[in-house]
Amino acid sequence: MTRTITSVIGGTPATGAPGGRLADRNPAQLDDLVADVELGDSDTFVAACRAAREAQLAWADVPAPVRGRAIAHIGRVVEANAESLAQLVTREIGKPYAEALGEVREIVDTCDFFLGEGRRLYGQTVPSEMPDKQLFTFRNPVGVAAIITAGNFPVAVPSWYLVPALLCGNAVVWKPADYSPACGEALYELFVRGGGIPDGVLNLVLADGEATFAGLSQALDAGYVDKVGFTGSSQVGSKIGELTGRHLQSACLELGGKNPMVVTPSADLDLAAEAALFSGFGTAGQRCTSLGTVIAHESVHDDFLARFDKLTQQAAVGDPTQAVVFGPMLDPKFGERFEDFLGWIQPHHTVLGSSATGRITAANPRDGFVGDPDAGVYYHPTIVDGVRETDEIFRNETFGPLVGVTTYRALDEAIRLANAPGYGLSSSIYTTDANDAFRFRRGISAGMVSINNSTSGAEAHLPFGGNGKSGNGSRQSGVWVLDQFTRWQSMNWDYSGRLQKAQMDVAELVPDESFRLPG
Ligand code: UN1
């Protein structure tokens, strides 16, 4: 069944396809047309921001506990639609169904966390330095939030923005990835209908990256946007940071990663290999938290690699509706780019993990492939051993099923290697030595650290985000994201009936500085 989907501005579909039409295909079965998409252009984006601006003040006047109830309703309606939403995620971006269900769960978890925040959105009462005066703090909504998200988590990661942004009283313009528009439309419907969100408070824009950037720039110039949230590549993230910086705004940026896993001599190697398989190849290596490089102590390198290779060779790859470790690339364009990354493999590398490298086809088969490889865009899992610090493969994110492996001698060297690519999203260490664990935590530049767990699988109520090329230090999830979608306002109230001047009219108790206890 193919549906036509469009942007929605102020509750009204924006038809006419000013940005052209797009055939949204199932990457596991390219002849399956998921949706016929009418794309918007930069004007569509601006119009959506204007509609959000018009709706925002009335939404901010809805009491926060009532907004919290809307979030509660959204959580329940997502739960009631979990299977169909997960099926759509699998169909549109090829995420294996079990994982897609987990992704839907992450929306529900996020709603469960924030529904109570509506009754809690605390400010403080603070003592004044003067009598008959009281100080207060309030959290105010920022205003209009423009949210631009990737399609590797087409519904969970957007919910990390939309849920707290709406809860805090902001109006939102959401632009999902151009390869996950159907998931975008479904989530939009669940939020608006399931939450009873008024027209204009949440707007959906389906557009390509260029039109979005131009529209965002115009909307910022027009003063329609107060906050930008972006999940995607470091390259586009830095352009968005530059643009918002010119408007004296700081965007919430969640960017790429080159996430390291250190395997120490005391590690449980079976556990480490299982984690490397899950975080290296789950979602075909297309999570921002995917494992980039294993940094194994030289004494356990061979043993670890043998186990990791065996698990990878045996892993079920293929049709994402079946029980597989990973399915196709999110979209054919990621397959094309992955071919470039495979070009970084050098003669000094040893390649393991599959019966071949490159695209899986009938002519370039993967042993045990589940389904018909020629129907979709599938790639062999690729382990590249012997990577060096100067290699492109070591230094850059390789969005796709590729994991590098290198060695170290002393933990300080492992930490240095782990930080060297300059990202800083997620990281992991396998050890049973508490000193190693804490030294690693202290030395690693990443925003997230796993001890005896993979680099993926962050829970929805801990701060999520990175440093360096992975982001500008903004954090999503839990109470920490409230600082992205509210601004602190301080208020002082003087009821003394006088002008009491701060710092000047302050009483002082006089100490006897010469006092000493009797010797
Ligand atoms: C992402 O890839 O953008 O920790 C987010 C994880 C998931 C979220 C990843 N819960 O892997």
Q: Is 84 exposed, middle or buried (0-12, 13-18, 19+ CB in 10 A)?
A: exposed
Q: What is the DSSP string of 213-253?
A: HHHHHHHHHTT--SEEEEES-HHHHHHHHHHHHHTT---EE
26 lines ligand 1 (CB under 6 A): no
Q: Is the pLDDT of residue 28 over 70?
A: yes
How confident is the model over 204-210, as a mean pLDDT? 98
How confident is the model over 130-152, as a mean pLDDT? 98
Q: Is the pLDDT of residue 1 over 70?
A: no
- Please tell me the pTM assigned to this model: 0.97
List strands edge to edge, sheet with 125-127. Answer: 125-127, 133-141, 486-494
Q: In the chain, pLDDT over 70 holds for what percent of residues? A: 100
161 lines ligand 1 (CB under 6 A): no
Q: Is the pLDDT of residue 377 over 80?
A: yes
Pocket test for ligand 1, best of 95, 233, 289 (most atoms within 8 A of CB): 289
Separation of CA 432 and ligand 1 centre (Å): 26
Band of residue 2 on the pLDDT scale cut at 50, 70, 90: confident
| DSSP-assigned letter for residue 318 | B
Comparing CA positions, the residue from 307, 312, 221, 263 lying closest to residue 454 is 263
Q: Is the pLDDT of residue 341 over 90?
A: yes
Residue nearest to atom 3 of ligand 1 (CA): 288
Token digits for 142? 């920022």
Comparing CA positions, the residue from 152, 405, 382 lying closest to residue 283 is 152
Active-site residue, from 49, 117, 288, 397: 288
463-474 pLDDT per residue, tens: 999 999 999 999
Q: Is 31 exposed, middle or buried (0-12, 13-18, 19+ CB in 10 A)?
A: exposed
Atom of ligand 1 nearest to the CA of 456: 11
Rounded CA separation 228/145 (Å): 6
Instruction: Check if the beta carbon of residue 282 is closer than 8 Å to that of residue 503.
Output: no
Band of residue 420 on the pLDDT scale cut at 50, 70, 90: very high
153 lines ligand 1 (CB under 6 A): yes
222-257 pLDDT per residue, tens: 999 999 999 999 999 999 999 999 999 999 999 999
Separation of CA 457 and ligand 1 centre (Å): 6
Separation of CA 93 and ligand 1 centre (Å): 15
Q: What is the DSSP string of 109-145?
A: HHHHHHHHHTTT----EEE-SSTTEEEEEEEEE-SEE
The pLDDT value recorded for residue 460 is: 87
230 lines ligand 1 (CB under 6 A): no
157 lines ligand 1 (CB under 6 A): yes
Separation of CA 290 and ligand 1 centre (Å): 8
49 is catalytic: no
Sign for the pseudo-dihedral over CA of 133, 137, 138, 142: positive
How confident is the model over 62-68, as a mean pLDDT? 98
H or E element at residue 61: helix 42-61
Q: Helix-strand-coil percent breakdown of the chain, rounded to 5?
A: 40, 20, 40
How confident is the model over 325-338, as a mean pLDDT? 98
288 is catalytic: yes
